[in-house]
Amino acid sequence: MSEGIVRTAAAMMQLGAEFASAAKAGEVFGLIGTLGTGKTHWSKGFVGEIDPDAQVTSPTFSIVNEYRGGKLPMFHFDFYRLKSAEELVALGWDEYLDENGIVICEWADLFPELMPEHTVWIEILHLADGARKLHRIKDPGEAERGQ
CA nearest neighbour of 12 among 40, 53, 54, 33: 40
Is pLDDT at 146 greater than 70 in this prediction?
Answer: no
Look up the pTM and report it. 0.92
Measure the N-to-C terminal CA separation of the chain; round to a whole number of Å: 22
Residue 60 pLDDT: 83
Q: Is 123 helix (H, G, I), strand (E, B) or coil?
A: strand
Residue 130: which of 2, 12, 3 has the closest Cα? 12
**Which residues face 3 on adjacent strands?**
135
Q: Which of 104, 142, 96 is nearest to 16 (CA)?
A: 104
Across 82-99, average pLDDT: 96
Full set of structural domains in the chain with CATH: 3-120 (3.40.50.300)
Residue 107 DSSP one-character state: T
What's the mean pLDDT in 118-144? 89
